């Protein structure tokens, strides 16, 4: 390395000696030469201490160093002990009045330790406030008023929250008393306290029959066990013969009053065994552990937290043992609870690693202790499952309640993350395993629970700071094949990026490479990935040592600058960017590669010392400059060489040992060692904003190089792929954007819905209608809607998107309140709700008819998209919740009407521009469908066919009732769509009598609404109203449409709150069956137990319900796009018209009337394209189609013909030929559903 005079004034950390051989042997002397730059203690300024991350400065000094002490100041030691934190030290005050706490806290702390969280300013004249009182809550959470240094000192001394373990002493006394009672019971029965007949108890205690009678965990006493039915006979308590001559029934042996002529259900045997012991050996071992280990844990945790941890571990241990241990053997003992306290010591060790004395040795001893405890579990009457269960629950509950000292915000964040994860995991484990004990297969739950726990533990302990496994991507991996074509990073998928995915990741940002020929080869291979038309090597014109700039099709510029020494002014300008550089201008990748030229031309370049100095200078710029030179900065490792294939001159100057030393130096400069804490609580492994892909050298094989220096294109291309994965996986996985991310959300939503309604995770209660509650909720919702009303700057048009989203939203809210309050029996409420359902169907008919008249797109793709979008969630819920698909009647109802509209419009589609023909075929469709629904045998025949050949058991009568209620409202919507289109074509708004007509329509609409409400109020019951509903429901619907669009103000204003709910109305309607409500809408869900907390539960569950519905709507939209082969867009359900292009049907400000479509538009509201038809009128967005194909007239005008169909079997594949097409996916899905239906047990 160069002398300090050749460096900046700021300190660059040297790596420890001994790593790099003779080439780096002068590190220690350099460190000593720099030691005098530290201020002496006399002038010590805490604000001017060195960066703690540079702490290994002193590690460059040997423990046997003879350097004079004056080099570091008279009061500063010349070396740092291994157990210290290697930070600049303050002198220890040895005076008599010095604070012990102060001295203890100062050891190993930097001068600015007071900036750490919880710390208080240190006053040397003020004694530590040991006696200060704190609130019980703050003491419970381990904060309080105690300063940080005192808590650390107490931790090192082994002092906890309290002096005496009262709970342990009390439990020990109770257990000893219970054990004495066990001996008395056995003595009365057999004449001796210890059972020697019919078999000897190896624990020297009572017989197994006596232990069962006293409350041991014995599954046949707790539930029906096929292998041990209630009719099984056992030896009585006083039996001493083998085989037994005194027989008693299972009910007698179980005791506690028997089963009361019912099935066994002595659930308390999960708790009672904690207080029982099998004999003297058993109780001595347990009490010794309890009075030592458990007592210390109670002192540290406090009695409250210890009590909860102790019994949670003991009970869960018995639950786990009850699921998986042998059902014919009794199990007793407090060892499960004691193992829970043992688990807390592991929490203490991992969380306070830096404060433990010799933590590695302690870890080894604790591991041995744990193994011995498991070995003891194989003794009779002792259950290893109880041990493991107690240990697992002790980890979870102990993490929650154990007081942890957090000196950094990162440590505190990690601990609170663990606590927030531990609570729901513990609850879920309790619920699942308790339920499983009484119901289903224990081994299936065991595998599931273990897999979930292992995944969460791995994520929490290993992957928390690296969820995308970028560390493995850059550091660990192997070839899966002998041809070096398929590289596998450990635990991480290496995605082969193509142009479209790379474009989305790079966002047209530039990529810059700087370095030597090895870097140049990587540059060309990465450019070739982004654009296959780009070259793979420099031109053969003798200009190989020159710069190159390539332009990819994704608009990214890929640049290479030749600088094998990385010391040109241009390189430093790129590493130290201008402060004026914007985020868009910043490169996506900056790749730096150097090193081999320093070895090859050591005499001219200065060799390794010059390389060290230059790299140190570059890394200092990167670490200190607040402006990042690129989104990702990569320093390439010095490439390993194949010496046997090098030329003579290269082999003489390049040595593998030097390359290893240089790479080790790079690694230790970028990954600062942290010795005082575990990796999970430390900062990121890479302390500088630079990536070092050491895995590049692991990928090299002698067979892949010809000159020993440059490797094959396939290897380098894989290295370039790793660079792209490193960049792009931090933003999003390309496959997650297509399907897996939404699929994960969708699956989590289904699981949450199942847990809410099909398990005891949350409580359920019955509904009770209250007119006050119903009225209050309606008024509160109305108030929220009115407060969120916003007005656009222009007339948004007739039935615009914002208006229809709002319409769906407030209707959905009304339906939800109706269901939540159980108002279905109130006729005056039921009747308007029926009209709201009819309004949805009206929008279906209006929207789809408008779409087919304007777009004439009758292709299979759109049909598939609509049906998948409408039914995906419903179908999954039907199987997951074991319900009938038809019970979620809204989805099947809308799907059926969509198919009817499609069939009506596709027949004679080329004549749809003829109004008479169009009206006639709609009337014919209505007549035909009415006849089908009136003839019950037709529908019954269809349903019988589905039951016989498809295993679908639906009620034809129930379906006929649902359909007949709204038999003609869809056709009213179709006629309304035609009327709006003809209104536009004939420009009726320009007629001089149009204002008069508008007033007349508004007056009639108002009268219709008044008449309707009066009519439905005077109906005898809802059954009477149902007879009238099909004939009159269109009146209030059309009246509302007319009044809602009566003026420009009304058309331009909408409620954002209602519109938000409207955009996920399909999901809210379906999910309410199980998540907001409960028992398939029969009850309501309670998160907080207690009927008196219903209002609070309503607020909590409503927020959860709306959020889950919104997330499921987005996930379903993207999954639909993936299934149907389209680009994922934001879908909305159902809507009428876009907001752009103001149009008015009741005003003269704009004589153009805009129509719209109902169904499921795939573009968000702010991305609506402004299409025009032949009359220059605005077209609505395509409702249900992720891909928006252009109209044939547009293609014709551009002189292009429609895309021809792909011949042969390619019809079943996607257009990119990389995956299956929509028909194959749908056929596969239908086949799976058919198989499931046939095999389903009803």
Render pLDDT for 1098-1112 as a digit per residue (tens, 0 to 9).
Answer: 898 899 999 999 999
Token pair belonging to 453: 């726990």
Answer for the pair 393, 347: CB distance below 8 angstroms, yes or no. Answer: no
Between 684 and 537, the more confident residue is: 537
How far is it, in rounded angstroms, from Cα 194 to Cα 203? 9
Instruction: Determine which one of 303, 503, 710, 712 is catalytic.
Output: 710
Between 666 and 84, the more confident residue is: 666
At 673 the pLDDT is 56
At 313 the pLDDT is 92
Which of 538-542, 577-581, 989-993: highest mean pLDDT?
989-993
At 1067 the pLDDT is 92
Determine the straight-line distance between the first and last CA of the chain, rounded to whole angstroms: 80
Other beta carbons within 10 Å of 367: 11
Average pLDDT over residues 982-995: 86
At 668 the pLDDT is 86
Q: Judge whether residue 338 has pLDDT over 60.
A: yes
Q: Judge whether residue 104 has pLDDT over 80.
A: no
Answer for the pair 325, 389: CB distance below 8 angstroms, yes or no. Answer: no
Lowest mean pLDDT among 381-385, 483-487, 806-810: 381-385
707 among known catalytic residues: yes
Q: Judge whether residue 829 has pLDDT over 50.
A: yes
At 380 the pLDDT is 67
Percent of the chain with pLDDT over 90: 25
Q: Judge whether residue 925 has pLDDT over 90.
A: yes
Q: Judge whether residue 1038 has pLDDT over 60.
A: yes
Q: Exposed, middle or buried, 658 (CB in 10 Å: 0-12/13-18/19+)?
A: buried
Lowest mean pLDDT among 273-287, 421-435, 669-683: 669-683
State the sign of the Cα–Cα–Cα–Cα dihedral 313, 318, 322, 328: positive
At 74 the pLDDT is 36
pLDDT digits (tens, 9 = 90+) for 702-741: 998 989 988 999 999 999 999 888 887 654 444 444 455 6
Percent of the chain with pLDDT over 70: 74
pLDDT digits (tens, 9 = 90+) for 135-191: 444 444 444 445 667 767 776 666 777 888 899 999 999 999 999 998 998 888 888
Between 878 and 467, the more confident residue is: 878
At 161 the pLDDT is 75
Q: What is the average pLDDT value for the chain, to the nearest integer?
A: 76
Q: Judge whether residue 1179 has pLDDT over 70.
A: no
At 584 the pLDDT is 76
Lowest mean pLDDT among 93-97, 648-652, 1088-1092, 1161-1165: 1161-1165
Q: Judge whether residue 128 has pLDDT over 80.
A: no
Token pair belonging to 1199: 């002189």
Q: Judge whether residue 903 has pLDDT over 90.
A: yes
Token pair belonging to 1117: 């939209």
At 533 the pLDDT is 87
Between 4 and 420, the more confident residue is: 420
At 100 the pLDDT is 34
Answer for the pair 693, 722: CB distance below 8 angstroms, yes or no. Answer: yes
**Phi then psi dihedrals of residue 1234, to 5 deg:** -60, -45
Average pLDDT over residues 780-797: 88
Q: Judge whether residue 761 has pLDDT over 70.
A: yes
Lowest mean pLDDT among 275-284, 345-354, 464-473: 464-473
At 1091 the pLDDT is 81
At 146 the pLDDT is 55
Between 762 and 112, the more confident residue is: 762
Please provide the DSSP assignment of 244-279 as one string.
-SSEEEHHHHH-TT--TTS----GGGGTGGGG--SS
At 813 the pLDDT is 93
801-811 as b/e: b if 16+ CB within 10 A? bbbbbbbbbbb
Between 5 and 293, the more confident residue is: 293
At 492 the pLDDT is 74
Task: Report the CATH fold assignment for 471-731.
Answer: Rossmann fold (3.40.50)
Beta bridge mates, 511:
558, 589
Domain ranges of the chain: 4-151, 166-463, 471-731, 800-856+967-1193, 1210-1239
At 39 the pLDDT is 38
Lowest mean pLDDT among 8-12, 623-627, 749-753, 1099-1103: 8-12
At 36 the pLDDT is 37
Q: Judge whether residue 353 has pLDDT over 70.
A: yes
Answer for the pair 381, 706: CB distance below 8 angstroms, yes or no. Answer: no
Q: Judge whether residue 810 has pLDDT over 50.
A: yes
Region for 307 from its dihedrals, namely left if φ exceeds 0, alpha if ψ lies in -120 to 50, beta otherwise: alpha
The helix-helix angle for 994-1017 and 1022-1032 (nearest 10°) equals 160
Lowest mean pLDDT among 86-90, 212-216, 1212-1216: 86-90
Answer for the pair 221, 322: CB distance below 8 angstroms, yes or no. Answer: no
824 among known catalytic residues: no
517 among known catalytic residues: yes
Instruction: Determine which one of 115, 123, 490, 707 is catalytic.
Output: 707
* 1160 band by pLDDT with thresholds 50, 70 and 90: very low
At 1088 the pLDDT is 82
At 8 the pLDDT is 38
Estimate to the nearest angstrom the gap between the alpha carbon of 1208 and the chain centroid.
42
Lowest mean pLDDT among 125-134, 520-529, 802-811: 125-134
Judge if the upstream peptide bond of residue 198 is cis by omega within 30 degrees of 0.
Answer: yes
* 563 band by pLDDT with thresholds 50, 70 and 90: very high
How far is it, in rounded angstroms, from Cα 5 to Cα 995? 90
At 148 the pLDDT is 66
How far is it, in rounded angstroms, from Cα 572 to Cα 992? 76
Estimate to the nearest angstrom the gap between the alpha carbon of 311 and the chain centroid.
31
Q: Judge whether residue 857 has pLDDT over 80.
A: yes
Q: Judge whether residue 472 has pLDDT over 80.
A: no
Q: Judge whether residue 408 has pLDDT over 90.
A: no
Lowest mean pLDDT among 846-850, 983-987, 1124-1128: 1124-1128
Instruction: Determine which one of 23, 517, 781, 1109 is catalytic.
Output: 517
**pTM of this structure:** 0.52
Average pLDDT over residues 1074-1098: 85
Average pLDDT over residues 405-418: 78
The CATH number of the domain covering residues in 166-463: 1.20.1540.10
Lowest mean pLDDT among 131-140, 456-465, 636-645, 867-876: 131-140
Between 1175 and 489, the more confident residue is: 489
At 838 the pLDDT is 94
Average pLDDT over residues 5-12: 36
Q: Judge whether residue 529 has pLDDT over 70.
A: yes
């Amino acid at each position: 390395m160069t002398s300090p005079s050749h460096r900046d004034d700021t300190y660059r950390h040297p790596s420890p000696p001994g790593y790099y051989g003779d080439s780096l042997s002068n590190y220690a002397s350099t460190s000593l030469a720099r030691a005098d730059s530290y201020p002496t203690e006399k002038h010590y300024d805490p604000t001017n201490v060195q960066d703690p991350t540079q702490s290994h400065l002193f590690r460059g000094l040997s423990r046997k160093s003879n350097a004079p002490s004056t080099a570091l100041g008279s009061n500063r030691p010349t070396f740092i002990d291994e157990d210290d934190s290697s930070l600049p030290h303050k002198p220890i005050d040895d005076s008599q009045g010095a604070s012990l706490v102060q001295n203890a806290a100062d050891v190993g702390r930097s001068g600015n330790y007071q900036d750490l969280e919880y710390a208080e300013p240190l006053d040397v004249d003020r004694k530590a406030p040991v006696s200060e009182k704190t609130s019980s809550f703050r003491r419970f959470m381990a904060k309080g008023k105690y300063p940080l240094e005192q808590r650390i000192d107490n931790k090192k001394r082994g002092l906890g929250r309290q002096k005496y373990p009262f709970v342990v002493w009390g439990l020990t006394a109770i257990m000893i008393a219970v054990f004495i009672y066990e001996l008395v019971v056995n003595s009365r029965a057999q004449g001796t306290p210890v059972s020697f007949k019919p078999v000897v108890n190896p624990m020297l205690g009572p017989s197994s029959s006596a232990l069962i009678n006293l409350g041991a965990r014995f599954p046949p006493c707790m539930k029906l066990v096929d292998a041990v039915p209630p009719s099984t006979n056992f030896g009585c308590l006083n039996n001493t013969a083998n085989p037994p001559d005194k027989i008693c029934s299972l009910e007698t042996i179980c005791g506690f009053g028997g089963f009361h002529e019912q099935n066994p259900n002595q659930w308390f045997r999960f708790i009672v065994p904690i207080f029982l012991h099998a004999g003297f050996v058993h109780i001595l071992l347990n009490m010794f552990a309890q009075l030592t280990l458990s007592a210390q844990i109670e002192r540290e945790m406090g009695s409250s937290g210890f009590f909860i941890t102790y019994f949670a571990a003991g009970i869960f241990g018995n639950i786990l043992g009850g699921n998986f241990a042998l059902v014919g053997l009794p199990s007793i003992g407090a060892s499960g609870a004691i193992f829970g306290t043992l688990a807390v010591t592991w929490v203490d060790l991992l969380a306070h690693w830096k404060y433990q004395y010799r933590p590695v040795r302690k870890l080894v001893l604790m591991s041995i202790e744990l193994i011995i405890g498991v070995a003891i579990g194989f003794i009779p009457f002792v259950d290893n499952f109880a041990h493991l269960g107690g240990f697992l629950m002790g980890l979870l509950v102990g993490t929650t309640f154990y007081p942890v000292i957090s000196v950094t915000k990162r440590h505190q964040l990690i601990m609170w993350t663990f606590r927030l994860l531990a609570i729901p995991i513990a609850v879920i484990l309790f619920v699942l395993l308790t339920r499983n004990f009484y119901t289903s297969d224990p081994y299936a739950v065991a595998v599931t629970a273990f897999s979930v726990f292992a995944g969460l533990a791995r994520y929490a302990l290993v992957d928390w700071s690296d969820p995308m496994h970028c560390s493995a991507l850059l550091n660990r991996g192997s070839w899966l094949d002998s041809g070096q074509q398929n590289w596998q990073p450990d635990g991480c998928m290496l995605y082969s990026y193509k142009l479209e995915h790379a474009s989305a990741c790079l966002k047209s940002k530039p990529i810059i490479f700087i370095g030597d020929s090895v870097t140049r080869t990587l540059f060309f291979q990465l450019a070739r990935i982004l654009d296959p038309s780009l070259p793979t090597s420099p031109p053969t014109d003798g200009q190989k040592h020159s710069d190159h700039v390539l332009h990819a099709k994704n608009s990214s510029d890929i640049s290479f600058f030749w600088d094998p020494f990385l010391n040109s002014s241009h390189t430093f300008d790129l590493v130290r960017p201008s402060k004026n550089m914007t985020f868009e201008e910043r490169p996506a990748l900056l790749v730096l590669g150097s090193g081999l030229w320093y070895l090859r031309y050591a005499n001219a370049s200065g060799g390794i010392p010059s390389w060290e100095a230059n790299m140190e200078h570059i890394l200092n710029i990167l670490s200190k400059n607040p402006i990042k030179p690129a989104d990702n900065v990569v320093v390439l490792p010095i490439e390993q060489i194949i010496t046997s294939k090098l030329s003579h001159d290269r082999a003489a100057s390049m040595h593998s040992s030097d390359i290893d030393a240089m790479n080790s130096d790079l690694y230790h400069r970028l990954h600062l060692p942290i010795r005082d804490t575990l990796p999970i609580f430390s900062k990121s492994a890479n302390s500088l904003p630079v990536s070092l892909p050491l895995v590049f050298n692991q990928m090299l094989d002698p067979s892949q190089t010809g000159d020993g220096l440059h490797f094959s294109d396939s290897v380098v291309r894989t290295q370039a792929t790793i660079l792209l994965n490193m960049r792009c996986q931090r933003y999003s996985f390309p496959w997650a954007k297509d399907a897996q991310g939404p699929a994960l959300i969708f699956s989590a939503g289904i699981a949450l819905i199942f847990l809410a309604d099909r398990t005891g995770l949350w409580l359920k209660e019955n509904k009770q209608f209250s007119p006050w509650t119903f009225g209050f909720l309606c008024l509160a919702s109305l108030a929220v809607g009115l407060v969120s009303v916003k007005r656009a700057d222009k007339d948004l048009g007739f039935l615009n998107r914002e208006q229809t989203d709002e319409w769906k939203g407030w209707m959905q809210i009304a339906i939800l309140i109706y269901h939540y309050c159980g108002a279905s029996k109130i006729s005056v409420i039921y009747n308007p709700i029926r009209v709201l359902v009819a309004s949805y169907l009206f929008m279906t008919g209006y929207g789809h008819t408008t779409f087919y008249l304007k777009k004439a797109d009758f292709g299979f793709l759109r049909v598939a998209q609509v049906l998948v979008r409408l039914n995906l969630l419903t179908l999954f819920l039907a199987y997951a919740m074991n319900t009938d698909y038809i019970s979620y009647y809204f989805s099947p109802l809308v799907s059926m009407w969509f198919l009817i509209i499609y069939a009506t419009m596709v027949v004679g589609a080329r004549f749809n521009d003829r109004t008479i023909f169009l009206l006639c075929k709609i009337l014919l469709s209505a007549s035909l469908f009415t006849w089908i629904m009136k003839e019950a045998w037709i529908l019954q025949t269809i349903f019988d066919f589905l039951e016989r050949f498809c295993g679908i058991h639906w009620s034809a009568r129930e379906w006929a009732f649902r359909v007949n209620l709204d038999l003609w409202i869809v056709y009213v919507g179709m006629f309304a769509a035609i009327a709006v289109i003809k209104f536009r074509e004939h420009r009726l708004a320009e007629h001089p009598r149009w204002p008069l007509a508008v007033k007349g329509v508004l007056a009639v609409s108002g009268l219709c609404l008044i008449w309707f409400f009066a009519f439905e109020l005077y109906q005898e019951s809802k059954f009477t109203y149902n007879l009238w509903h099909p004939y009159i429901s269109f009146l209030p619907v059309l009246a509302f449409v007319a009044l809602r669009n009566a003026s420009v103000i009304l058309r331009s204003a909408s409620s954002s709150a209602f519109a938000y709910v409207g955009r996920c109305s399909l999901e809210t309607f379906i999910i309410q069956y199980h998540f907001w409500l409960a028992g398939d809408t029969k009850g309501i869900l309670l998160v907080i137990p207690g009927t008196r907390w219903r209002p609070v539960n309503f607020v909590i569950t409503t927020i959860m319900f709306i959020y889950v519905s919104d997330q499921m709507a987005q996930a379903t939209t993207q999954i639909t796009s993936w299934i149907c082969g389209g680009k994922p867009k934001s879908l909305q359900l159902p809507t009428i018209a876009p907001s752009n292009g103001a149009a008015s049907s009741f005003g003269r400000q704009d004589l153009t009337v805009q129509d719209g479509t109902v169904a499921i538009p795939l573009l968000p509201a702010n991305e609506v394209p402004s299409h025009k038809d032949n009359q220059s009128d605005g077209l609505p967005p395509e409702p249900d189609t992720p891909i928006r194909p252009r109209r044939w007239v547009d293609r014709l005008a551009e002189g292009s013909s429609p895309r021809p169909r792909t011949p042969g079997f390619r019809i079943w594949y996607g257009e990119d030929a990389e995956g299956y097409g929509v028909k194959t996916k749908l056929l596969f899905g239908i086949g799976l559903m058919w198989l499931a239906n046939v095999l389903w047990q009803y």
